[in-house]
Structure 1
Amino acid sequence: MASDPTGGIIATIFGTAAKGLDYFGSAAKIRRDSPELIKHNVANYIAMEAAKDHVERLRQGLIEEQLKPDGRKEPYIYGLELVDLNQKADALQKEMNVSKSVQHALEVLQQSKSEPTEEQIDPDWSFKWKDYASHVSSDEMRMLWGKILAGELERPGRFSFNTLHVMSRLGKNDAEIFLNLASLATWETERAFLITEDNIFYEYGVPYLTQLELEDLGLLLSAGSVRRFKDGYWFHIGGGQAIVIKNKGDKTPEVHTKLFTQAGRELLNLVQADANLDYFQKIGACVANKLKCEFIIAKHIQIEGTRLRWSRDTEIRIAPQ
């Protein structure tokens, strides 16, 4: 049997796939050429599917029934050839995973309204991204890896190597838990955190054991902290909204929090979950009553320097009882 039972199909496909990933230069160049790139990537994926089907049929052909002296029939496998085909099938699946993630990245870049950069991403980062993305088969996770690639292309250095490593440890269920966590998160320029007052977030899908899992995955810091807010202090929540603290007493309001890690903060920007307003209203009532302050959920916000403006008609204002 020939050394390559696929007749060179695999080598051709891998060469095409490698060219597709190496094409990435800058976000600006990709956006200019995105229709051509998307067309190329779709054609490449279809070709890989056909090649994988071809390999599967070859694998099945390497299993025959062999008649034993006692009359029993047992399967006989051409061992080395089957091992070779299994390796090629695995390699093809990895390339298909990468191709799908690349497709999602191209679509994100094509629809993005941000100003594209001419700066290129680090080749080592690109290599590491491809390695991690090659092991992801669910479309939901491929989409997340595609968003990471698109984000890095738009702003090289946006996602650290550590964030790639943390992301590679997340399964589909972990990603769903983190998406829920993102709906409960608050953040400032340099940090992101959960308000843990009275452990209200336990009721919203983040019980103690889930916290431990998120800490082990490298998304949350294990130690808690205390945040103190000056009068009029504000911070972001999901959906383009904000929380504003208005001091009504003599003491500076302070709340117990749990901080996200750097990787957690970077992934928060990736998922962009809408805020769970039911949760924030419960948190608001708790904080307002305990700290004698006004807790405002501001919608339709506009940021002017360090000042925040919002629509008074749509705000949710929670006063101490």
Structure 2
Amino acid sequence: MQGKEVSNDKPVPAPPANEKIASNTQSNTSQQRMLSWFARVGISPSMLSPDPKKQKHALERRKQILETQKASNLQAVLNIALNVSINEQTSDNLDPDWFFAFSTMAEEIYSPPMQELWGKIFAVEVARPGSFSLRTLQLLKTLTHRDAKIFNKAVNVASRKNSDTVPRILVGYHKRKGLFSFLKKPLPEQVNLASVGLSYPDLLSLQEMKLIYASEIESGEYAEGQQVTWRCVNENITLTCKTAGVALVYYKFTPVGSELYKLVTKSSNEAYLQALKQVLGEVFNIS
């Protein structure tokens, strides 16, 4: 005789009422955000009526909203540019093709921090035409505020030599191995950039955005006693080579990255400077 199958399944208790309320609240909040964002481009869930007249009115209203927003974007960029102080100016005229390309791109910049960057670009270009290429503008238009923050982190650890316009992120050195070098305790030859705020994913993003070159670069070898001075944000660092056969290792900014570097507000990364001096101090006297 077969026995009846006994089920061990227990009924699943209903979620507490407060969890239901929290879930509904989160859902409503998300929906409100969605509606708010689409309202900024003139779209609502029921905007298109079967009535042709109402539909035409809704589409015209959407067009007006978009055009008003674009005009507002350009106005914001202009107001920022008017408040930028440029010391050196030339008598050259702004290229009309550059200006109209600029305005077409700038009208679609909606983030206030990015509008500030575009305003600075326009002010500099008016004062010194030819400072920024259209290629730079085209790349800049694809950057988000998050991208700009990553680039700012790179700028804060970038250095330039005297009379050199191309910034570089110094990361360490390479030393030609001597005959008895294997007897010495190995020393760190590079700064861990992630430990000072510039992570490996950040570097990859900068490379993908074509703001820095994709691989590390070595300088030429320094002779013993040879000096070189770098400026990192507001600090000058003079390196005097202790021994021959030493080369600096760095990431180099691309031409576009070098142009944008001039616009970004810089602040010293003290952790990076200390780490760099500690690493380079093995092969350079630092002053």
Contact persistence 2:48–2:55 (CA under 8 A): no
Q: How does 1:70-109 map to 2 (within 5 A)?
A: 78-108=54-84
Which residue does the alignment assign to 2:253? 260
Shift of 1:183: 0.5
Residues 196 and 78 (structure 1), Cα distance of their counterparts in 2 relative to 1, 3 Å cut: same
Unaligned runs of 5+ in 2: 1-39, 173-189
Q: Distance in 1 between matches of 2:214 and 2:246?
A: 23
Cα deviation for residue 295 of structure 1 reads: 2.2
Change (3 A) 1:235 1:83: same
Structure 1 residue 138: deviation in Å? 1.9
2:170 counterpart (183, 186, 195): 195
Mapped pair 1:233 → 2:223: no
Larger gyration radius, structure 1 or structure 2: 2
In 2, Cα distance between the equivalents of 1:257 and 1:129? 33
| Cα shift at 1:176 | 1.1
Aligned partner of 2:279 in structure 1 is: 286
The runs of at least 4 aligned residues of structure 1 exceeding 6 Å deviation read 62-66
Aligned residues: 225
**Structure-2 change in CA distance of 1:242 and 1:78 (3 Å):** same
Distance (whole Å) between structure 1 residues aligned to residue 249 and residue 48 of structure 2: 67
1:186 pairs with 2:159: yes
| SS of corresponding position for 2:135 | helix
Distance 1:286 1:59 in 2: 56
After superposition, the CA RMSD in angstroms is 2.7
User: Which of residues 232, 239, 243 is equivalent to 2:237?
Assistant: 243
Alpha-carbon distance between aligned partners in 2 of 1:130 and 1:214, rounded to the nearest angstrom: 26
Alignment partner of 1:157 is 2:91 = no
What is the deviation of 1:164? 0.7
Percent same amino acid among aligned pairs?
Answer: 24
Q: Indicate conservation of the 8 Å contact 1:141/1:172, yes or no.
A: yes
Aligned-pair CA distance for 1:255: 1.8
CA distance in 2, matches of 1:183, 1:253: 25
Higher strand share: 1
Q: Which amino acid aligns with 2:241?
A: N
The 8 Å contact of residues 48 and 58 in structure 2, kept in 1 or not, is answered as no
Alignment partners' CA distance in 1, 2:53 and 2:118: 38
In the alignment, is residue 212 of structure 1 matched against residue 204 of structure 2?
Answer: yes
Alignment of 1:169-184 (within 5 A): 169-184=142-157
Q: Structure 1's 64 and 262: CA in aligned 2 closer, same or farther, altered over 3 A? A: closer
**3-state secondary structure, aligned to 2:231:** strand
1:97-129 Cα deviation digits (max 9, x unpaired) = 011011100100xx33x1333321111111121
Q: Give the whole-Å Cα distance in 2 for the aligned partners of 1:242 and 1:169.
A: 34
1:123 aligns with 2:96: yes
SS in 1 for 2:83: helix
Cα distance in structure 2, aligned partners of 1:101 and 1:186: 29
2-side partners of 1:65 and 1:79: how far apart?
5
CA pair 252-277 structure 1, distance change in 2 beyond 3 A? farther
Match for 1:295: what amino acid? I
- SS of corresponding position for 1:132: helix
Question: How far apart are the structure 1 equivalents of 2:265 and 2:97?
Answer: 27
CA distance in 1, matches of 2:218, 2:88: 37
| Matched residue type, 1:202 | A
Displacement, 1:204?
2.4
1:150-169 deviation per Cα after TM superposition (whole angstroms, max 9, x unaligned): 11111110111111112111
Partner of 1:11: none
CA distance in 2, matches of 1:106, 1:199: 41
In structure 2, distance between residues paired with 1:222 and 1:278? 24
1:137-152 paired onto structure 2 within 5 Å: 137-152=110-125
More helix by share: 1
Secondary structure at 2:219 match in 1: strand
Instruction: Name 1:42's counterpart in structure 2.
Output: none
What is the aligned counterpart of 1:222 among 206, 209, 214?
Answer: 214
TM-score by length of 2: 0.71
Structure 2 letter corresponding to 1:260: F
User: What is the TM-score normalised by the length of structure 1?
Assistant: 0.64
Asked if 2 retains the 8 angstrom alpha-carbon contact of 1:186 and 1:238, the reply is yes
Partner of 1:166: 139
Mapped to 1, the partners of 2:123 and 2:54 lie a distance apart of 44
